[in-house]
Amino acid sequence: MTQLTDTPVPARPQPVVAADRITNLDTIRGVAVLGILVMNAVSYGLHPAAYFNLDAAGSNDWLDWTFGVLGEVFVDQKTMALFSMLFGAGIVLFSDRAAAKQARPVRLAMWRNALLLLIGFLHSLLWDGDVLIVYAACAPVLIALRRVQPRVLLTVGTGLVLWSAALAAIVQTAVPADGDGLGEYWLTDGSAMSDAVGIFLLNDFFARALGMMLIGVAIYRLGVLHGDRPASFYRSMARWGLGVGLPLAVGGVVLQAAYGFEPRIAVIGEAPNTLATIPIALGYIGVISLWNRRSRGALIGRVQAAGRMALTNYLGQTVIGIALLRGLFEPDDLDRTWVALFVVAVWMLQLAWSKPWLARFRYGPAEWLWRSATYRRLQPIRR
């Protein structure tokens, strides 16, 4: 393991300039930040159990079920996996560039992620589904392991995700037939969640996030995330990733439905979707990388702009979602179709505003604040 050491140097660190950006990362990040809203919006507008249990709330007709199943198969865990991989790559990218400029990469990276922890804490006061705290907590591990061989990172990262799936099977054995202890993870009756289920959820969030971050560092080091590999590589990546992952994800939904979404399938029913996360996320990277290298249209430019402002857009989604879906409605007032319409509306808004903003300013508002605090001086924001 690489030790955390700093070499004092006189140069002051500087933020990355636009000319140094890797557009493939921006495109993937844009897809990820837009995609993550699909599942987060469920927790904004519906009962907490609806996030994991398609039958718990919000599924009143065939259209609701269609949106629910599509979200479970194509989005749940997968866009967060993309987000996590890019976060891992971002840690490496930031540290490498800081080191190249003779800055103190470890100290600067740790300070930067301490600030992210603060942002996550403030965000969690508004919404309990915040992921930034998890990312900031994982950051020291990534900084420590950033120079480990990619094959080792791939092995450890995959092992963490597999462990999360295995723990689901273990915890399921502790769930009684009547579902006592599942709480709002699966039920809408207001019952309490057991320690076992709570530990499973906590482990699942951290293990999956850290596992995908390590995989992200590995494939960044291997040059996959840059989008510079041959097109045949990304076609194969898409074909194998989606070909393996999608049947697993579909199988998970079919398994839950076959058991009538009963408590005896509540936790272990998530395992197939977890197993599908790595191949589907890699498949998405293949598809997005092909799109990024072939397209010069208006849409991809807007998606890249949304990705460059990912932190602003992620926080903005919460503000809009909490204000509208929770502020104006009760959980029983909405269904999955209304939530899907909300998602499309926010997508249109963020795709519409991100590019014009970046045409006038260097960074999104949240990115600018984070950068200014990282380098401890106000950064120029106007172009």
Residue 1 — pLDDT band, cuts 50, 70, 90?
very low
Nearest to 86, CA basis, from 133, 34, 140, 24: 24
Give the number of residues written for the chain: 383
Nearest to 47, CA basis, from 325, 260, 383, 282: 325
- Give CA–CA dist 293/83, Å, rounded: 20
pLDDT in tens, 246-279: 999 999 999 999 999 999 999 999 999 999 999 9
| Least confidently predicted of 21-25, 140-144, 187-191 | 21-25
For residue 17, pLDDT over 80 is answered with no
For residue 6, pLDDT over 90 is answered with no
pLDDT at position 18 is 47
pLDDT in tens, 293-323: 987 889 999 999 999 999 999 999 999 999 9
Residue 369 — pLDDT band, cuts 50, 70, 90?
very high
pLDDT in tens, 197-226: 999 999 999 999 999 999 999 999 999 999
pLDDT at position 20 is 52
User: Which sequence spans correspond to the domains of the chain?
Assistant: 21-375
Structural tokens at position 216 = 């992200």
pLDDT in tens, 31-41: 999 999 999 99
| Least confidently predicted of 12-21, 118-127, 353-362 | 12-21
pLDDT at position 73 is 97
Measured in whole angstroms, the distance separating CA 139 from the mean position of its chain's CA atoms is: 15
For residue 7, pLDDT over 60 is answered with no
- Give CA–CA dist 227/204, Å, rounded: 30
pLDDT at position 103 is 66
Residue 10 — pLDDT band, cuts 50, 70, 90?
very low
pLDDT in tens, 76-134: 999 999 999 999 999 988 888 888 876 678 889 999 999 999 999 999 999 999 999 99
